[in-house]
Amino acid sequence: MPTVNPPRGMRDFLPADKARRERVLAVIRERYRAHGFDEIETPVVEDYDRLHAGIGGDNEKLAFAVLKRGLDADAIRAAAEAPAGLSDLGLRYDLTVPLARFYASHRADLPSVFRSIQIAPVWRAERPQKGRYRQFVQCDIDIIGDASARAEAELVVASLDTLDALGLEGGSIRINDRRVLDALLDGFGFSADERPGVLITIDKLDKIGPDGVVAELEGRGVTPTAVAAFGAFLRRPQTLEYLPFGAAQIRKALPDGIADELVGHLVGIGDAVAAARGGGDIPLVFDPFLVRGMGYYTGTIFELAHPSVDYSLGGGGRYDGMIGRFLGQQVPAVGFSIGFERIVDLVAAAEDAGTRALVLVHDRDVPVAELVALKTALIADGARVRLEQRTKNLKPMLERASADGYTAFATVAAGATVDGLEFKPLA
Amino acid sequence: MPTVNPPRGMRDFLPADKARRERVLAVIRERYRAHGFDEIETPVVEDYDRLHAGIGGDNEKLAFAVLKRGLDADAIRAAAEAPAGLSDLGLRYDLTVPLARFYASHRADLPSVFRSIQIAPVWRAERPQKGRYRQFVQCDIDIIGDASARAEAELVVASLDTLDALGLEGGSIRINDRRVLDALLDGFGFSADERPGVLITIDKLDKIGPDGVVAELEGRGVTPTAVAAFGAFLRRPQTLEYLPFGAAQIRKALPDGIADELVGHLVGIGDAVAAARGGGDIPLVFDPFLVRGMGYYTGTIFELAHPSVDYSLGGGGRYDGMIGRFLGQQVPAVGFSIGFERIVDLVAAAEDAGTRALVLVHDRDVPVAELVALKTALIADGARVRLEQRTKNLKPMLERASADGYTAFATVAAGATVDGLEFKPLA
């Protein structure tokens, strides 16, 4: 008999956890819908070739493949030299590749600017470790068909509003633009070939600091004069002068020579977010060294920060090139993925207030029809009701009910009526 | 470039369909929770061995297998003679096998009578045809740990209440007991070996009628005297006398010699459902020839009928033997699966009343910050808002918005204020 545990790196969710997850998802879904996003769904599996078309980055290597059906012994033997022949489908590793396929398939039935919500699990065969799972839920919003700063502003405003609605007020967005990064690296004298490796190192700036970055770049053997220029810029003396988000702050954080158009796009996002939030500080922070891993980003990139944690709660960016690969026609696109698995751990476990959740503890001799009638009458009156047969020691049973969100209990003897029940609080 | 369609037999859901599916799921989830069921979740994949342990019936053959990772050429060649070596995981084909594993794994953390909700997709490699899909959602409720008629009554009352809440009033339950069927076949003189084949034929009674059933049984070569006795019973003269659900009706539908205990269990379910529904007709119909396909049923079986359709909208039964196979200890269990994919097509597409869903049609020259501020102000006021840039012909755009659930629109010029917007109905 195999183990009764879930497969390696995957999780079962018991009632209390599942209820909290569904509550958080309901808030996210409702808020994103209010902001004009429409939810779609695609199958859990996609064609193997599509998942391995080179746009999934490192995730492609982590994809679970689904075995082709009806393979005979000869076909299996032939696949020994070409293992891709064993699979025609695979489990999706993100929601962006399926979205691009969906858009290419259904474009004629979608608004010209399409704002999508996707809330669904993805699978990656990562080495299991604390906080990293082989099946986890992603919550993505994407805007396809709008190249303007309005798209980024709508994503940012919707995501911060959702975070507020979850009781996580005070979130902010670190923002950058891949083209700013490219211009910056060009300016220091790195070659285009050196960029991907240099970005991997820069991505560690928060962790290893300027000296660590310079040391790692020297180890990489990239253009030494570029490393020196970059190091000097990182270590330049800075006055700790507070500047609100805007052109002045962005210019101050960059060397000279970054195009006005790039700065203008970022400022446009900031202006729109400021207008939407109705004054006060703009919850945006320009970070010229924000990298984001995915290779497909082409413009704005952002990450969601919250004062309660030192890791990001989500992120996204512009990927104007990807949809075009499926469609044969360029279409601008920008997306934001809220880190559901991280956020759900931060949200209080409070049961929906207002619902009466009652446990009826009954003696063994109460007739079934009486019990079911009592239960149904309380449900019709708006309550949530669990029946429990009396045990010698009530305490463990009542504690479990409390953990599952029940708030009061009454004992039931034969002949009891709804009006005669006396409820006592559980906690 | 591969096709942009979803994989064979699987579906994409566009916004209007997805919104309707989520609304129906929210009602099902809320009603089942009110009736004291608690939602759980298991991973989409299970160990290959568990999915192929002989309890999934015909569905085991339809399971999609997940390719083992890290297979080298030698391992693949070796698998030519033993293809099970290619897979260690598979996509679940139902929610009952995962529930049995879940219960065995987490029993200590669950109430002694555990009422579970599972709402999740399953996969079967069926030949695609109208209304049959390779990925579809199942909505199961199960009660583990209660052998009494109370368990069946709670399932029936909760399921009918849910159907009512979806606007599908007037549902009823066809009910039978596998042990009644067994006793009936024994009484006619069929041998235990002949039972499975005879049940397959009886399952077609609605479609091919008594003569068709007798002809097919004769063709099967089962005990001829049993076929003759069964045929005589099927064609016996019956008075069209109305009897409400209860012992009298059940006895009348059966030959003599069925044990009182079996009839008593069915009557107990009826009494409890009657008490819960508070008088009027009991929405139960005893059908001694109701079979239900799954081999694991051991007692009560039922199907959900509705006057608007001639197919069943769900069904279930008792499977007291299955949990014990995982646990090494007998535990009674009974489940009911509501036919989500069928029900969702019957439910009206009405948007949640009460939500204002507004389209802002703006000129090209309205500044991004103004637009985002207007949108956000309306959202803060409780509305759902979509921005659309003005097109030459507004009609197709407004029709699409209406299909997506939007109810009113206003045009926006530069300098517009929330108070100055004039909304017109969309439909």
State the pLDDT at residue B1: 53
Residues of A in contact with B379 (CB under 8 A): 34-35, 161
pLDDT, residue A349, reads: 59
How many Cβ pairs closer than 8 A exist between chain A and B? 307
Cβ burial A146-174 (10 Å sphere, 16+ → b, else e): bbbbbbbbbbbbbbbbbbeebebeebbbb
Q: Which residue has the higher pLDDT, B250 or B11?
A: B11
Cα nearest neighbour of B48 on chain A: A2
* Residues of chain B contacting residue A91, judged by C-beta atoms under 8 Å apart: 44, 66
- The two tokens of residue B53 are 């342990």
Q: How far is B346 from chain A (nearest CA, A)?
A: 20
Catalogue all structural domains in chain B, each as residue range(s) with its CATH number: 15-44+92-346 (3.30.930.10), 357-425 (3.40.50.800)
Question: What's the average model confidence in pLDDT over B125-130?
Answer: 88
**Confidence at residue A137, expressed as pLDDT on a 0 to 100 scale:** 97
Mean pLDDT of A284-290: 92
Identify which of A41, A336, A29 has the alpha carbon closest to the alpha carbon of residue B384: A29
Residue A348 pLDDT:
72
Q: Phi/psi at B116 (nearest 5 deg)?
A: -105, 150
| pLDDT tens sequence across A152-207 | 999 999 999 999 999 999 999 999 999 999 998 999 999 999 998 999 999 899 88
Chain A residues with CB-CB distance to B275 below 8 A: 369-370, 372-373, 376
Question: Above 90 in pLDDT, residue A420?
Answer: yes
Residues of A numbered 393-412 whose beta carbons fall under 8 angstroms of chain B's beta carbons: which are they?
397, 400-401, 404
Please give the mean pLDDT across all residues of chain B.
Answer: 91
State the pLDDT confidence band at A54, using cuts at 50, 70 and 90.
confident
Q: Which residues pair with B172 in a beta bridge?
A: B305
Percent of chain B past pLDDT 90, that is, above it, reads: 68
Q: Convert the pLDDT of each residue in A74-125 to its tens digit.
A: 999 988 888 788 999 999 999 999 999 999 999 999 999 999 999 999 999 9
**CA B283 and chain centroid, separation:** 19
- What per-residue confidence (pLDDT) applies to B2? 61
Higher-confidence position of B257 and B346:
B346
Selection from B38, B218, B375, B131 nearest residue A401 by Cα: B38
Confidence of residue A292 (pLDDT cuts 50, 70, 90): confident
**Least reliable range by pLDDT among A347-356, B47-56, B270-279, B327-336:** A347-356
Q: Percent of chain A at pLDDT above 70?
A: 97
Nearest to B7 among A47, A154, A271 (CB): A47
User: In this structure, what are the phi and psi dihedrals at residue A318, rounded to the nearest 5 degrees?
Assistant: -90, 135
Q: B359 with B388: CB under 8 angstroms?
A: yes
DSSP string, A270-300: HHHHHHHHTSS--SEEE-TT---S-TT--SE
CB atoms closer than 10 angstroms to residue A207: 8
Binary contact (B373, A11; C-beta < 8 A): no
The better pLDDT of the pair B85, A134 is held by A134
Q: Does B309 touch chain A (CB under 8 A)?
A: no
The interface residues of chain B toward chain A in range 54-83, judged by CB-CB distance below 8 A, are: 64-67, 69, 71, 73-74, 76-77, 79-81, 83
- Pick among B21, B24, B32, B38 to test the A interface (most A CBs inside 10 A): B38
Answer for the pair A423, A409: CB distance below 8 angstroms, yes or no. Answer: yes
* Chain B: closest CA distance from residue A368 (Å): 6
Query: Which band of pLDDT confidence, cut at 50, 70 and 90, is reported for residue B350?
Result: low
